[in-house]
Structure 1
Amino acid sequence: MPLLIVTGLPSSGKTTVSERIADFFKSKNDKAAQNVQIVSDDLNGSYSSSIYNDSHQEREQRSFLRSEVQKRLAKESPVICDSLNYIKGFRYELFCIAKLVKTTYCVVQCSSSKETCTWLNSFQVDNHRYTDDTLDALSMRYEPPEEKNRWDSPLFRLEITKEAGPKSVDIPFDDIYRVLFEGQALPPNLSTQSAPLAATNFLYELDRATQQVVQSIVELQKTAVPGDFLTVASCADKVEMRKVRSLAELSRLRRQFMTYTKSHPVEDIDKIASLFVNFLNNNR
């Protein structure tokens, strides 16, 4: 079932926009759309905007959201993820979940100035109201979606202002619906079956595949906690995160793997990433 990610600065109207989109889906003569579920921070009973002042609590909240999204998609319910979703690595993880279940996906950004967010923040209830310092810090850390990134596309950007607030801003409901319920599902991860690799290309493919895995791990670790399983690029196997690994450590293990694999080459290029992931999981 489709996955829609809503992102934006704190108090930029994401929840109101999410609810308006959900109401539109429910109004359609489409049983699948009518079954839409919103995964929001409030599902976690202990949530408060103060978690963003504690990096450990923030990582736990993202882990909670990721788990709730995956659980609901597995039950074939359309999901709207209503949260800051301000880290591109976290949006990439959610994108990978959508790929895993072979569903459609899009991103809606509530684009708003910090001044407008401060104004909207003044109307929030206590546990959702951000302090000025927290709002400033999150605004600095926000990584806005870019349509050139596959995990940020298709992208629908809504301009939230005092005049066109989240309750009245124009939302392209029909376009969003067509993308999610009539569009083409994301392809699954690359198959492990392919033509034998030519010897002259082996070193290039070995370098490329292992470098992609390392880059994915470095990015995904930013939003994960020990015990998580990381879904890396072009690989069905997952990296078990027992601790945060530095780039230096990952590079050292990559060199060890490459040294071994050069003397024991594989014919199927798509197995390289999986073999490297298994190697990392076995080297704690």
Structure 2
Amino acid sequence: MALITISGFPCSGKSTRALQLQQDFLARLSSPEYTGPKLRVIIVDDESNHVPRSVYDSSISEKSGRANIYSAVTRNLGTDTIVICDSPNYIKGFRYQMYCAAREAHARVCTLHIATPPEVCREWHEKRGECSYKPETFDNLIMRFEEPSSMVRWDSPLFTIPYIDPLPLDAIWATITTGAKAPPTAAVLAPPKPPPNTLQILTSTTSAITTALLAHVNATPGSSGFVVPSPPARQAGELRVRLPMKRVTLSEMQRLKRHRAAGVGGADEVAVKFVGFLEATWDTAGD
């Protein structure tokens, strides 16, 4: 249904904002005025997915931690779920990865950036005690932070919230419930499945055209064109092949058949594509 990605410096208040969002959404969903579908509101965070702060001490362990978060996000994405991802999310490539997963799940997306100054984050971090980052890890996360931008599609719509300001709850709710859904990318769309007898249709159609064409060439030497019979053409006289100036031979046609372009559909569609392939090949050879 929707994915909200929360981004910000370590100890910037992301978890507090995630909890505020969850509580607000649950209150709206349980209100008598709400008439929409029944929805769950899930927070995916480091703690609940066994990602300790120590994983950010090295790039190798950090990749494993991000993989756990990504798996949890994709596992919970669905038509009946609002997923709030409360994690550092400081790498734009990781935010893009989750954006693509949301598009594949036909979910709405938005990014919430908690704009807390580094000195405030450091102050809050020092008060945490045992559950804090190592000092060098904390500094490294701030240095490497890639701030979200409304100019890129995977961070949009973007809400940038100063740490002292309240959340624009109404605007966020409207975005995830009525905002536009980005279509899945071409990379994740499943290609259409060809019919089970595609190879048989392809072979028989191209063989029929080859046999008839060679018979025509032998019967009328020097002919400049050949009309494909029906079948495999949809209608008699509808499909014509422009022949090359040179004589077409059996060996050449056998070779062209092996390099034919398959088509998804019936014999008439395969015939059209094969004729187009022949003419394009002969036109190129004549240039």
Q: TM-score, normalised by structure 2?
A: 0.62
Separation in 2, partners of 1:184, 1:56: 37
Q: Is the 8 A contact 1:36 1:78 kept in 2?
A: yes
1:126 paired residue number: 130
1:236 paired residue number: 189
| Alignment of 1:23 onto 2:23 | yes
**Paired amino acid for 2:166:** D
> When the two structures are aligned, how many residues end up with a matched partner?
191
Shift of 1:57: 1.3
- Taking only the aligned residue pairs, the percentage that are identical comes to 32
| Alignment of 1:40 onto 2:40 | no
Separation in 1, partners of 2:111, 2:3: 9
In structure 2, the CA distance between the partners of 1:157 and 1:33, relative to structure 1 (3 Å rule), is farther
Shift of 1:264: 8.8
Q: TM-score, normalised by structure 1?
A: 0.62
Shift of 1:171: 0.5
In structure 2, the CA distance between the partners of 1:113 and 1:187, relative to structure 1 (3 Å rule), is same
Q: Is the 8 A contact 1:25 1:34 kept in 2?
A: no
In structure 2, the CA distance between the partners of 1:265 and 1:77, relative to structure 1 (3 Å rule), is same
- 1:151 is paired with a residue of what secondary structure? helix
Q: Map 1:82-97 onto structure 2 (within 5 A).
A: 82-97=86-101
Separation in 1, partners of 2:64, 2:53: 13
Separation in 1, partners of 2:19, 2:155: 21
Q: CA RMSD in A?
A: 2.3
Runs of 4+ aligned structure 1 residues displaced above 4 Å come to: 30-34, 263-268
Computing the radius of gyration from Cα coordinates, the structure with the larger value is 2
Pick the aligned partner of 1:106 from 101, 106, 110.
Answer: 110
Shift of 1:135: 1.2
2:61 paired residue number: 57
In structure 2, the CA distance between the partners of 1:132 and 1:32, relative to structure 1 (3 Å rule), is farther
Any stretches of 5+ residues in structure 1 without a counterpart?
191-233, 238-262, 269-284
Q: Map 1:141-160 onto structure 2 (within 5 A).
A: 141-160=144-163
Shift of 1:130: 1.7
